Structure 1
Amino acid sequence: MDPAGPGPAVPPFAPAEPPSGAQGDVVLSDVMGRDRSINLFAGFVRDIESSSRRLDDSSHNTTVLAPLNSAIESLPRKPWEDPRDYSALGPNAYEGGDGQERAQRNLRRFVEAHMVPVSPWREGAKAKPIGDDQEIWWEEKDGIRMIQPGAIEVVSVASTVANGDVWIIKIARNYA
């Protein structure tokens, strides 16, 4: 056994890049597609013009809570589906122009439920995701960062850039 103890541990929340804070540097839109484990969510963000613009704007800080691909794949329905649409309109709720607009609106709600307009986001500080009235916060217990309410585990902080952070989360937030 080494008397000096184990070497320094790298915390799972160490940013992939050092924060720069300078205008014109790397922004969230530049890093969203880097991590393959969240490429489904990154694609959804690109599909929502307002969200994509926000992540490209160095004057709007954001903490992106990007669900793992496996989390999106295991959802009970697609992020663009809403059971209320099926109840009101039947199985063809997303057909045609009106259906595509409904799907786009629902996808926007899903994406915005995962974007917190705060960065840096301090532990315990309550914030409302874009387009969501429910306040959320995060806390760390036993070295695990959890988004509350819902005890959603943060797997890692994938990137820290001029206008925010990308946090990879184990499950998707409730977006209904």
Structure 2
Amino acid sequence: MPQHSCIPTITPTMRSLIILASLLVSSQARLLPFGDAPQQQQPMSGPGIQLPNKPSTEDSTPHGDIILSDIIGSHRQIQIFAGFTRDISSISARLDNPSENTTLLAPTNSAITSLPRKPWEDPADYDALGASAYEGKDGEDRAHRNMRRFAEAHVVTESPWKEGKKVKTLGGGEVWWESRGEKKVVMPGGVEVDGVVGRVGNGEVWVLNGVVNYAS
């Protein structure tokens, strides 16, 4: 008799959960008390992937032939958010479009993992459905919807983006940025910008030391 495959389908939302879980395990492993002290190593990079030691300077020249989708996965400190952008079609299509300029506000991995709840969790879902809120197909749909809300709150539909100019995010929120000393902060909320790690033909990637308010 023919054998039926029992291999589960890995959906985009499940893939993002796996990426985040693996990073959490990695960060926790570094805290184990009896392990050997880690030796300092230079990060390894694959062909065509740039891993800068520090954010690029503000006067970097844009690369017109390169677009945001080419570089978003090239920076380890924003690996989790980069995975979210690939899994949300409204964002991935925009980053891949050379005619739509975008300022991508990418929270660091640590900013995401230190949140009181996961980006795909909503207290209202738990209030209504309990611990099983994200189980099954309906649960996965809810998780994906919440993750989309989180990610789209970090996509500014304009670049270059002038200081003080209030603009809409892809999720519909209003944001602007201000200078505070030598730092930039994204408002409202005063989220500190760690640096600009990419400036290409259709926009820029800003690394944030926190997250933009994404509550519905």
Report TM bin, short chain: 0.7 to 0.9
Q: From 134, 138, 162, give the equivalent of 2:201.
A: 162
Matched, 1:117 2:153: no
Higher RCO structure, 1 or 2 (CA under 8 Å, sep 6+): 1
SS of equivalent to 1:138? strand
Q: Which residue of structure 2 lines up, in the alignment, with residue 14 of structure 1?
A: 57
Q: Which residue of structure 2 lines up, in the alignment, with residue 173 of structure 1?
A: 212
Matched, 1:148 2:187: yes
Letter in 2 for 1:102: R
Q: State the Cα distance separating 1:20 from its structure 2 match.
A: 3.4
Letter in 2 for 1:20: H
How big is the alpha-carbon RMSD for the aligned residues of Structure 1 and Structure 2? 1.6
Unmatched segments (≥5 aa) in structure 1: 1-11
Q: State the Cα distance separating 1:132 from its structure 2 match.
A: 2.4
SS of equivalent to 1:109? helix
1:16–1:157 CA contact under 8 A, matched in 2: no
CA distance in 2, matches of 1:50, 1:126: 22
Q: Which residue of structure 1 lines up, in the alignment, with residue 117 of structure 2?
A: 77
1:33–1:161 CA distance, 2 compared to 1 (3 A):
same
CA distance in 2, matches of 1:52, 1:17: 24
Q: How does 1:58-97 map to 2 (within 5 A)?
A: 58-97=98-137
Higher helix share: 2
SS of equivalent to 2:185? strand
Matched, 1:29 2:69: yes
TM-score scaled to structure 1, two decimals? 0.87
Q: From 122, 136, 139, give the equivalent of 1:99.
A: 139
Q: Which residue of structure 2 lines up, in the alignment, with residue 5 of structure 1?
A: none
Q: Which has the larger radius of gyration?
A: 2
Moved over 4 A (4+): none
Unmatched segments (≥5 aa) in structure 2: 1-54
CA distance in 1, matches of 2:59, 2:88: 25
Q: How does 1:33-52 map to 2 (within 5 A)?
A: 33-52=73-92
CA distance in 1, matches of 2:72, 2:131: 33
Q: Which residue of structure 1 lines up, in the alignment, with residue 8 of structure 2?
A: none
- Using the aligned pairs only, state the percent identity: 56
Count of aligned pairs between the two proteins: 162
